[in-house]
Amino acid sequence: MSLKIDLIHNGRAEGDVADRLINSGGDVRVLRPFIGRDGRHYVTANSGRYDAKGDPIVEARLTTNGATLRKDDWLRLDTVLLREKRQKLRAWADLRAANTYGGFDGFSTLMLENELVDDVGEAHVDFDGLTEGRGASPTFGLDGLPLPIIHAPFSFSARKIAVSRQGGQPISTTQAEHSTRRVMETVERMTIGTLLTSSYLPENLTEYRRAPRIWGYTTHPDRMTSTITAPTATGWKPETLVNEILDITSGLQDNGFDGPFMVYHGRGWTKHLGSDYSDQKGSNTLSERIKKIEDVQDLRRLNYMGDAYRILVIQMTPDVAEAVNGMEFSMIQWDTKGGMQKNFRVMGIQVPRIRSTLQGRCGICDATTA
């Protein structure tokens, strides 16, 4: 199973598939033709018209693009995509639920930019309001976030689909499950930081404070770092971790981030967090004790953390992290080899945007063992 993270450069693409995407403004539904009950081939796509609320009107249209699947077949594949998405994404799902940035044409946008400015100026206290203020000009900076297309392919032969249809058996969704799993795991690892993509180098690189790159929670250069004690260390007690998390939240607050905080942990902490916190109250686990810290929103495990004893403390606000949704994950279809091979691809544009101030302050603390 291959998975790719590609960029379309300068809005140029070659081939029938790419041309159709560009001509449709990145609407992947033009590559999802289905066979209607009347036997004719249709696609669902934006009509170019809008309803009273300003939302685009979607309609089914006849198409000359050959359809292979019935509408029920597409529904089966889409159900697989949704199921894998729910099973595999925790860091990404939390981020998207908290802060989503979307509503733009991600297919036609190579990079998002956001401008940073420092906090200048001063206030005066006097009785006549005539004190001269000191002039200060704000300093500006620019950050860039590349928007790659994340995709994974699979295919069926035309004969296999014909046999499936003749026997009345639905097509197998195994390949779709594998492709979806690879894509979703990639987004999760990008969010955590265990998958670091290469930087994108625009022509005007000097305008940016650093080379545009997709940073994760554990890789952003401005994140706070801390050292915690592994539960395997001599003398470790449950209150050791509680005190260290309190120190971390206090440090973030001193840096201007007041919470609430999401606390993530690696797989190594699982059995320790489920153990009794105190001998006096056996039902009070270490996990429950941490969740009672005033500024802690929740405590959750990340299966793709990498480091088994790593702890992440993150302020879940848009000024710290956002889930950028340039294109929802969808499956598309096209033919090759004279129509004898039916190709499919799970694809979308969804990446994390980790943010920091111009002074380099970030509301994330990455704590690792010594």
Tokens of 196: 């670091």
Dihedral angle computed from the Cα positions of residues 322, 324, 328 and 329, in that order, rounded to the nearest 10 degrees: -80
Per-position b or e across 324-353, b if 16+ CB within 10 A of its CB: bbbbebbbbbbbeeeeeebbbbbbbbbbbb
The pLDDT, as a whole number, for residue 203 is 65
Q: Is there a single domain that holds both residue 43 and residue 152? A: yes
Examine residue 61 and state whether it is found in any structural domain, yes or no.
Answer: yes
The pLDDT, as a whole number, for residue 16 is 54
Which of the two residues, 261 and 330, has the higher pLDDT score? 261
Domain total in the chain: 2
Examine residue 328 and state whether it is found in any structural domain, yes or no.
Answer: yes
Q: Would the pLDDT of 104 be above 90?
A: no
The pLDDT, as a whole number, for residue 170 is 61
The pLDDT, as a whole number, for residue 279 is 65
Q: Indicate the burial class of 139 (C-beta count within 10 angstroms; 0-12, 13-18, 19 or more).
A: exposed
The pLDDT, as a whole number, for residue 106 is 86
Q: Is there a single domain that holds both residue 183 and residue 240? A: no
The CATH number of whichever domain residue 20 belongs to comes to 3.30.2400.20
pLDDT in tens, 122-160: 676 777 777 776 666 666 678 889 999 998 888 878 777
Other C-beta atoms lying within 10 Å of the C-beta of residue 264: 23
The pLDDT, as a whole number, for residue 327 is 87
**Is the CB of residue 100 less than 8 Å from the CB of residue 191?**
no
> Which amino acid type is present at position 211?
A
- pTM of the prediction? 0.75
Q: Would the pLDDT of 5 be above 50?
A: no
Q: Indicate the burial class of 126 (C-beta count within 10 angstroms; 0-12, 13-18, 19 or more).
A: exposed
Lowest mean pLDDT among 2-11, 270-279, 289-298: 2-11
> Quick one: pLDDT band at residue 276, thresholds 50, 70, 90?
confident
Q: Would the pLDDT of 252 be above 50?
A: yes
pLDDT in tens, 30-79: 556 655 666 665 556 555 555 666 555 555 555 545 555 556 666 666 67
Q: Is there a single domain that holds both residue 229 and residue 343? A: no
> Quick one: pLDDT band at residue 207, thresholds 50, 70, 90?
confident
The pLDDT, as a whole number, for residue 329 is 85
Query: Which residue range(s) make up the domain with 182?
Result: 4-112+143-204+321-354
